[in-house]
Structures are given as structure tokens and as C-alpha cells.
Amino acid sequence: MKTNQNTIEINLNQDVPEPQQAGLTSSIGSLWPPQIASFNRIKGIYTQKIIDNKPDLESVINELFQQVNNNFSNKITRISLRAVVSNEILRSLQEDRYLIEALIPLKGTQNNLENTILVYFGLNHSTRQSLKEELGLYKKNMQQALLLKKRSPREILERVEKEGYSISIINKNYINETIIDQITELYIRFNWNRNNVREILLNPNNLMAIAYKKNQIVSAGIAELAKIPLDKNYLRITEITEAATADGHTGNGLYTAVSSTLLLELTKRSKQKDILDGEIDFVFGECNGNAIGVLRTAKLQGRTFSIEIGKEYGFPESGILYQHVPISGVPRNTPYNDLFPAFITRENLYKFWSLDYA
């Protein structure tokens, strides 16, 4: 893989990170200034400061439009930026409201972030648009998921244990060639090879949980940790990202159990101030609207969907990342998937995810 600011070769079904921030298989992506990413996108996270005035908010929006003017083509068809914005300034936004794709309120993280929101800004080229009928289906999937009540960690894990599965976090000190081979077989659907899997497993900023039965790994999921500089401080976030379950084992609650095991481990480490030398601020996932099981899992775990809270902040149409990336699975009629961010803050993580899985 070769990268520079003007050209990029993509060999993996993954986001391209800023080199100093993460390995090749990172999903969280680059910081600031925005950089070219996979799947014909430019991505960036504004790290200069918390945006607490209109000129700074306009500056980020102008950056988005500048990226559009300079780069929109058949090679770049989506701009996706994120920034931490004060509630008051965000509510004052009148023009360009259509650029707000999703919101993650930071109340329940750090004291100085109680009145701020992580905002997703996005704009797609005219050739990269969602289909109305597919969006309608995804919103129906979402409505079904939102009817669910949170389950306790014990309920989630006992279900799969009764079926003979064991769930654990991979200990990096005991990774061997057999583990690498089995996980490579699972993740071949993402076009990952053994070297990619080895990199993921050994990366200190990644956690992987696995489900196994009769000494065979049949499901796995990844949590990617990131420490983002922000206004002389840091935002510590974790994305629950790529997961895979072997044929013959789907529909047994393994994704829910694997991702829940990641949440339990993240809670434990955060309380020990062992999330990149501190406590976690929030855990999130960008959930495929075409995967009802993933949407259901997020709700069962007590995560909040951005689409649930947009109206509260004056952006009732927000909560969807349109045509963000392609995800293998249920067929679709567009090149990419529409994603629904779901999050859980430190406060609720500590409240819901105790170590005895009560």
C-alpha cells in the first residue's frame, strides 16, 4: 500500500488511518487536516479546540466546502468530518443544517465536555446517494430495534454459554499461529490476509473478543481504541468495529456476546485508568442499517442511537451516515451502506457493565 496526500492505493476493505495514529486496519481514521481515506472519501477529526463560537464553526464548515470544491470527482465522492461543538453554538446553526449527519452528546464523559457534542458533518457527491426505498427499510429495522429493552451482561452471555460456546478476550501474550489461521479464515470476507490479522492482534490499541466451540474460533469482534488530542486534553474513544461469525453459527447471539465481552473488558480497564493511560469517554459503533441483528445488539447493550436524540438538539433528520462504506452481508442496490451511529458514554458504561455481569 502506498499513500500520500494526492494518491492512494487501497488493498484492504478498511479506512486508511493517519500513519502516526494507528495501523493499516484502523477504522477511526485520520485527524486534522482531513486526509484521503478508503472508499473514495476524505475524512478528518477537528482537534484544534472545542468549537464554542460561530467563527470556528463556520471555519469547519468552510473546510468541508473547500474539500468539496477541491476534490469532488469520480475518485472522491464523500467528505466526512467530525468536531466537538458546544451545545449552544450548535443550536444556533441556521444555514448549512443539512450538513449535520449525526450527533454524539458528550454529557457523561469529562466534566469540561458536559455541554458539548461530537458532531458528524458530511456531504456526498450527486453520484453517491442513498435509495429512498432502502432507507425506508433501514428505518423500519431501526424502529424494531428501538422497541427492545436493555439486557444484563449475564443474560447475554448465559445464552451462548448454554449452547456450548465460550467467550474470551484474546491475550496478546498467547497468540499463536493456530489462532491467526482461524481468525484469518473468519475475516477473509474483509479481504484480510494473515499479515493483516497478525497486525490487528498485536496492535496494543486493539482488543479482540472471540467465541469458540470445540477449540475452533467461530466468531470474533474488534474494539479499536483511540486517544484524540482536544484542546490541551484528550478524548479517549473506542469503536466496536469489524465482526465476523462462521457459517453455521449465525443467529445464536454470538455477535451480541462477543461485543458485550468487549464492553465488559473496556469497563474494567477504564476503571483502572488503563484506556491509553486514562478513562474511556465513550464507546460507539457505526451500525449497518441493513443488519437488523447489529441494530438489535446495540439496543440490548444500552447504547443510544444518534437517530434517537437528533430532535432534542434541533436536528430531527440526523442520525444517519449516508453511503459511508460498503459492508458485506445482506445484499443492497447501492455501492455503499447507510450507517446508524450508536454510543454509550463512560457514565452509562460504568452503570450497565459491571464486572460480575449482574
Residue 290 to residue 311: CA distance in whole angstroms? 23
Confidence tier at 338 by pLDDT (50, 70, 90):
very high
Mean pLDDT computed over 237-251: 92
Confidence tier at 169 by pLDDT (50, 70, 90):
very high
Mean of the per-residue pLDDT values of the chain = 89
In a domain, 347, yes or no: yes
Residue 278 to residue 21: CA distance in whole angstroms? 17
pLDDT of residue 60: 96
In a domain, 327, yes or no: no
Confidence tier at 27 by pLDDT (50, 70, 90):
low
In a domain, 58, yes or no: no
On the question of pLDDT at 20 being above 60, the answer is no
Question: 357's torsion region: left (phi>0), alpha (psi -120 to 50) or beta?
Answer: left
In a domain, 342, yes or no: yes
* Residue 268's CATH number: 3.40.630.30
| Exposed / middle / buried, residue 15 (Cβ in 10 Å: 0-12, 13-18, 19+) | buried
pLDDT of residue 189: 82
> What would the grid cell of residue 111 be?
466534566
pLDDT tens for residues 61-110? 999 999 999 999 889 999 999 999 999 999 999 889 999 999 999 999 99
Question: Are the CB atoms for 203 and 23 separated by under 8 Å?
Answer: yes
- What total of structural domains would you count in the chain? 1
Question: Are the CB atoms for 238 and 206 separated by under 8 Å?
Answer: no
In a domain, 245, yes or no: yes
Amino acid at 125: H
Share of the chain above pLDDT 70, in %: 91
pLDDT of residue 29: 58
Residue 137 C-beta-side C-alpha neighbours within 13 Å: 15
SS (H, E, C) the chain: CCECCCCECCCCCCCCCCCCCCCCCCCCCCCCCCEEECCCEEEEECCCCCECCHHHHHHHHHHHHHHHHHHCCCCCCEEEEEEEEEHHHHHCCCCCHHHEEEEEECCCCCHHHCCEEEEEEEEECCCCCCCHHHHHHHHHHHHHHHCCCCCCHHHHHHHHHHCCCEEEECCHHHCCHHHHHHHHHHHHHHCCCHHHHHHHHHCCCEEEEEEEECCEEEEEEEEEEEEEEECCEEEEEEEEEEEEECCCCCCCCHHHHHHHHHHHHHHHHHHCCCCCCCCCCEEEEEEECCCHHHHHHHHHCCCEEHHHHCHHHCCCCCCCEEEEECCCCCCCCCCCEEEEEEEEEHHHHHHHCCCCCC
Q: What CA dihedral angle connects 5, 43, 91 and 61, to 10 degrees?
A: 30
Residue 20 to residue 29: CA distance in whole angstroms? 11
Mean pLDDT computed over 153-174: 95
| Domain extent at residue 205 | 132-303+334-352
In a domain, 61, yes or no: no
In a domain, 44, yes or no: no
On the question of pLDDT at 21 being above 70, the answer is no
> What would the grid cell of residue 75 be?
475518485
Which residues, other chains included, contact 24 with Cβ-Cβ below 8 Å and sequence gap of 6+? Answer: 1, 12, 14, 16, 17, 196, 199
Radius of gyration for the chain, computed over Cα atoms and rounded to the nearest angstrom: 19
Mean pLDDT computed over 272-283: 96
pLDDT of residue 213: 94
In a domain, 265, yes or no: yes
On the question of pLDDT at 3 being above 50, the answer is no
On the question of pLDDT at 31 being above 90, the answer is no
Lowest mean pLDDT among 1-5, 130-134, 201-205, 326-330: 1-5
